Amino acid sequence: MSDSQRLFDLQVLDHRLEQLRSELALADQRAAGDSELKALNRRVQELRTALSQMASRLRQEELEVAELRERAASHERAIYGGSVRHPAELERYQHEIRMLRERIGAAEERELTAMEEQEGLEADLRAVEGQAGARSADLGRLRAQDAGRRPGLDQELRGAEADRAGLAAQLGPAALRLYASTAARRTPAVVRIGGGVCPGCRLPVAHRVLEEARAGQLVTCENCERILLP
């Protein structure tokens, strides 16, 4: 087996190792907590607090309307009950009734606005609670899957790490340095020549380089510097 083939196999192992480590890292994150679910739960609490404050505001508006109506009704009873006889006093009562009715109208507008805001908050709360419930269910399912898959992933990771170490031991330091430096700049670092063309940059490979690759030498593309495998 040529060094270029070993490097290609090393690249395959590195890709799988990256996948395994990523899957295990995600499982660890899910086990530790979920930022999306935490954000949804915070939003639920914010909406519940806002609804509680809105309910207090509505009660205050209702009490104010009831009080104003009672005062207006009391003035009307005084007028129509005959207890108000002096014209100036009658005019004062009538003026106060007009002012009270204006205040009642304004308070009722505020009450209606608060009720509409309350309905909007309730709709938002139902939506976010639904999202939080769905996310929690998804997270529970994923955690259960993680628990079932974790032993196999750990075992596969250890096996892939051992395979990589064994394969790397078959390569010289120069080949490993070339692979590391190329992988840091190019993805993939090792490519198989197809039809005399480098699949990395899609440019023709020089005949000399192609022959050297076929002879088992470790060569790179003269354009993109990827390691070439015939």
CATH number at 70 reads 1.10.287.1700
Positive or negative torsion for Cα 81, 86, 89, 95: positive
pLDDT score at 88: 85
Q: Which residue carries 């395979």 as its tokens?
A: 163
38 CB neighbour count, 10 Å cutoff: 12
Distances (CA, A) of 191 to 200, 202, 213: 7, 11, 12
Question: Could you tell me if residue 23 is inside a domain?
Answer: no
Whole-model pTM: value is 0.67
The answer to whether residues 74 and 180 belong to one domain is no
Same domain, 43 and 138: yes
Say yes or no: 117 and 202 in one domain. no
Phi, then psi, of 193 in degrees rounded to 5: -65, 135
Q: What is the CA radius of gyration of the chain?
A: 39
Structural domain that includes position 106: 33-169
Q: What pLDDT is stored for residue 8 in this prediction?
A: 96
3-state helix, strand, coil in the chain (%, to 5): 80, 5, 15
Ordered mean pLDDT values, 10 residues apiece, the chain (230 residues): 94 97 92 90 96 94 92 87 79 90 92 93 97 95 93 96 96 96 96 94 94 94 95
Residue 117 is assigned to a structural domain of this protein: yes
72 Cβ contact list (under 8 Å, min separation 6): 97, 100, 101, 104
Q: How far is CA 166 from the centre of its chain?
A: 40
- Same domain for 197 and 162, yes or no, is no
Please indicate, yes or no, whether residues 39 and 132 belong to a single structural domain of this protein: yes
- The verdict on residue 11 lying in a domain is no
Backbone angles phi, psi at 143, to 5 degrees: -65, -40
pLDDT given for residue 104 in this prediction: 93
pLDDT of residue 86: 81
State the total domains in the chain: 2
